[in-house]
Structure 1
Amino acid sequence: YRCRYCPYFSNRAPNLKMHERTHVGKPFCCRYCHRVFAERSSLENHERIHIGEKPHKCQVCQKSFWGKSHLVEHLRIHTGERPYECGVCGSAFTQKATLRKHERTHTGERPHTCETCGRSFSERCILSVHQKRHHT
């Protein structure tokens, strides 16, 4: 089954149907904040934030998480696993996002730009601090 909008294909029709929703809209709407999602499972995971449901529990320390991926990430604290390694210096990280931030120290990339003055920053939180200090 081939997507009508991009090169994606799947050997299962339900997978294709779910994928095509990413092109034609996001029909699943959160009843609490009205954020929209392409997949029902993404909506269900999101709504857990609002109702406080945390069904994924760490068997080591009993801490609970609303998403399975958050539990998997958390377990690396206990195992010491650091699967995301910098190709430049070899530093390793538990999260892919942390590796991406680290890589900017090598590339000098500053993707977050202040719309008021044009200064750019490597991290969104640094941009936010800048805006509060200089433009409010």
Structure 2
Amino acid sequence: EKPYHCGDCGKSFSQSDHLVKHMRSHTGEKPYCCGDCGKSFSRRDHLAKHMLTHTGEKLYTCDDCGKNFRRSDHLAKHMLTHSSEKLYRCGDCGKSFSQSDNLTDH
């Protein structure tokens, strides 16, 4: 059941706080401000991720090679370098890549 509805786009939510967060996508409200650089965010978790750029703290470690990352999505992208699976193929020469960025650069 999703009783909370957005008046702007009609999207529905199961919890009122989810609707509040969603409404910021329409209003542009960014109530969470970085005390170090002044950059603002619509969500607290986005500010928390941003704060890692100031501390230099790297919480995510690759089990294969030991390289450290500040963000889990960066680790996930890095993990593709260890994969033998190459999903991105060049239509011109046939060379395959594990990351779309590498195909684009090629």
Q: Answer whether TM exceeds 0.5 for this pair.
A: yes
- TM-superposed CA distance for 1:90, in Å, is 1.3
| Match in the other structure for 2:33 | 57
Q: Which has the higher contact order (CA 8 A, sep 6+)?
A: 2
- How many residues in Structure 1 have an aligned counterpart in Structure 2? 96
Q: Which structure is higher in helix share?
A: 1
- TM-superposed CA distance for 1:109, in Å, is 5.1
* CA displacement 1:12-69 (0-9 Å, x = unmatched): xxxxxxxxxxxxx433332223333332212211211210100000001111100000
The question of 1:97 aligning with 2:69 is answered no
Specify which of 65, 70, 79 is matched with residue 55 of structure 2. 79
Give TM-score, length-normalised by structure 1: 0.57
Identity of aligned residues (%): 41
In the alignment, is the contact (CA less than 8 A) between 1:101 and 1:122 conserved in 2? no
Unpaired runs of 5+ residues, structure 2, are: 89-96
Question: 1:83 is aligned with what amino acid?
Answer: L
Specify which of 22, 29, 36 is matched with residue 5 of structure 2. 29
| Match in the other structure for 2:91 | none
